[in-house]
């Protein structure tokens, strides 16, 4: 059982007021709040060991390098990667996906096929469209049903020997639907295709085991799991990372440079050109420690309670429609009020201290499927409470009355 008040005390931002009301932060799908231990760790880095890494013999450089590589090891253990060099530091999920799609430009040929799903964030659509335009490959799309679930039978039909990579999200950012990624990975591998999983929305709620999943790539962001902005991870199987060309050229990613030829560094440095977000990488390790100390089983159980409570309370309001009606969901409720634009609702409840996300959530194909301009999305974290959900319900009712 989580001690919610003790946990909330770890997050200084939660104690403030917004527009004269206690802050209710339900925009965790966009970014999570940061506990004091994470904030302190960032300050500690700059106060005590700020230096560039992997390049200096002086003490501060060695201390910073050691801390950075310890953080890499924490990520490796957290996702159960086989090797630490399969863990690449990135600026976020988008960076990781673009790294892989750029690499596949040297692999794909005209007529090859890339499979994505209708549930994807734009960051897992646009890079693959760009890749197909560049290579002559063909983009195939897994459709969804009215509950926001992937139609797996249609996915099975899309697969063939032409399929070279399948890329889907673990959890939909717009609907909270948890996809059957183990099935997708196994079926894709059966036709010889690689698989990239966008785990941005999954890692705040669960611990992915990349060896058990057997995915070839798994990308996620640090800022959605209590870590700093501008941080992320791309896991890649060693064989694939060795096969792909470097994404960027510069310092750190080289073995030897001459004007005649440059040879590249070994993993993971081959893909980590230039000075990285050193503080961010180190502090991401702190955030992972914090979450593991709470325990993902407890987080999952409690967030499910929040989801059930929010769903029940919203369904009590006449004229509410929830999108993503499936049992296999993360703690996200995406909804609309009949006849009212989601932006208008979001603006009014913000005046009451309630922070939700409104719009298409960088998932316009989903909104087009449902023929709507967007939704109101409330995304919950383990530091939220049922009382906050009740406050949101009251605010939504007021907005409905004012706008009807």
The answer to whether residue 362 is catalytic is yes
What is the rounded CA–CA span in Å between residue 355 and residue 296?
25
CA distances from 194 to 13, 89, 100 (A): 41, 21, 11
Confidence band (pLDDT; 50, 70, 90) for 394? very high
Counting every residue written for the chain, the total comes to 404
Residue 108 has pLDDT above 90, yes or no: yes
Helix and strand element counts for the chain (H, E): 14, 17
Alpha-helical segments (H) within 226-270:
238-243
What per-residue confidence (pLDDT) applies to 252?
Answer: 85
Tokens of 275: 């000075």
What per-residue confidence (pLDDT) applies to 323?
Answer: 98
What per-residue confidence (pLDDT) applies to 277?
Answer: 98
Confidence band (pLDDT; 50, 70, 90) for 22? very high
Residue 136 has pLDDT above 90, yes or no: yes
Residue 56 has pLDDT above 90, yes or no: no
Average pLDDT score over residue span 194-209? 98
Contact yes or no for 45/283 (Cβ under 8 A) = yes
Residue 69 has pLDDT above 90, yes or no: yes
CA distances from 229 to 79, 151, 287, 399 (A): 20, 34, 12, 32
Q: Is the pTM of this model over 0.95?
A: yes
Residue 293 has pLDDT above 90, yes or no: yes
Residue 253 has pLDDT above 90, yes or no: no
Average pLDDT score over residue span 82-105? 98
Average pLDDT score over residue span 255-277? 92
Site of tokens 């902005």: 229
Tokens of 400: 């409905």
What is the rounded CA–CA span in Å between residue 115 and residue 128?
9
What per-residue confidence (pLDDT) applies to 399?
Answer: 97
Residue 156 CB-half CA count within 13 A: 5
Confidence band (pLDDT; 50, 70, 90) for 55? confident
How many C-beta atoms lie closer than 10 Å to residue 116's C-beta? 23
Q: Kindly report, residue by residue over 161-173, the tens digit of the pLDDT.
A: 999 999 999 999 9
Q: What average pLDDT does the structure give for the chain? A: 97
Residue 404 has pLDDT above 90, yes or no: no
Residue 251 has pLDDT above 90, yes or no: no
CA distances from 232 to 159, 213, 222, 350 (A): 30, 20, 5, 29
State the pairing for strand pair 21-22/17-18: antiparallel
Query: From the candidates 132, 215, 226, 362, which is the catalytic residue?
Result: 362
Site of tokens 């640090």: 222
Average pLDDT score over residue span 91-107? 98
Residue 264 has pLDDT above 90, yes or no: no
Alpha-helical segments (H) within 217-295:
238-243, 278-294
Q: Kindly report, residue by residue over 314-370, the tens digit of the pLDDT.
A: 999 999 999 999 999 999 999 999 999 999 999 999 999 999 999 999 999 999 999
Confidence band (pLDDT; 50, 70, 90) for 86? very high
């Amino acid at each position: 059982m989580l001690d919610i008040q003790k946990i909330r005390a770890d997050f200084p931002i939660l104690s403030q007021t917004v527009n004269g009301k206690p802050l209710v932060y339900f925009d965790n799908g966009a970014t999570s709040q940061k506990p004091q231990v994470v904030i302190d760790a960032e300050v500690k880095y700059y106060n005590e060991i700020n230096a560039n890494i992997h390049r200096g013999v002086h003490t501060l450089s060695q201390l910073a390098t050691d801390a950075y590589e310890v953080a890499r090891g924490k990520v490796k253990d957290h996702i159960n990667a086989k090797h630490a060099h399969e863990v690449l530091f990135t600026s976020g999920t988008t960076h990781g996906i673009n790294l892989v799609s750029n690499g596949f430009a040297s692999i794909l040929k005209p007529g090859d096929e890339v499979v994505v799903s209708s549930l994807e964030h734009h960051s897992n659509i646009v890079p693959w469209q760009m890749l197909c335009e560049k290579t002559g490959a063909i983009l195939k799309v897994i459709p969804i049903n009215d509950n926001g679930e992937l139609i797996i039978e249609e996915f099975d039909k899309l697969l063939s020997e032409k399929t070279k990579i399948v890329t889907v999200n673990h959890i939909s950012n717009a609907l909270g639907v948890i996809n059957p990624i183990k099935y997708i990975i196994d079926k894709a591998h059966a036709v010889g295709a690689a698989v990239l999983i966008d785990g941005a929305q999954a890692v705040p709620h669960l611990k992915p085991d990349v060896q058990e999943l057997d995915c070839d790539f798994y990308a996620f962001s640090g800022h959605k799991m209590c870590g700093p902005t501008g941080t992320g991870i791309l896991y890649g199987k060693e064989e694939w990372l060795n096969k792909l060309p470097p994404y960027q050229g510069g310092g750190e990613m080289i073995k030897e440079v001459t004007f005649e030829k440059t040879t590249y560094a070994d993993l993971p440095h081959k893909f980590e050109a230039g000075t990285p977000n050193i503080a961010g990488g180190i502090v991401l390790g702190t955030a992972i420690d914090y979450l593991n100390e709470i325990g993902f089983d407890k987080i999952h159980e409690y967030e499910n309670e929040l989801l059930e409570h929010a769903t029940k309370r919203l369904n009590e309001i006449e004229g509410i429609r929830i999108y993503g009606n499936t049992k296999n969901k993360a703690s996200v409720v995406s909804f609309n009020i009949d006849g009212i634009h989601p932006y208008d609702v979001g603006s009014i409840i913000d005046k009451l201290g309630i922070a939700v996300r409104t719009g298409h959530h960088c998932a316009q194909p989903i909104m087009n499927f449902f023929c709507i301009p967007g939704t109101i999305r409330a995304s919950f974290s383990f530091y939220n409470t049922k009382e906050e959900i009740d406050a949101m319900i009251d605010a939504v009712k007021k907005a409905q009355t004012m706008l009807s």
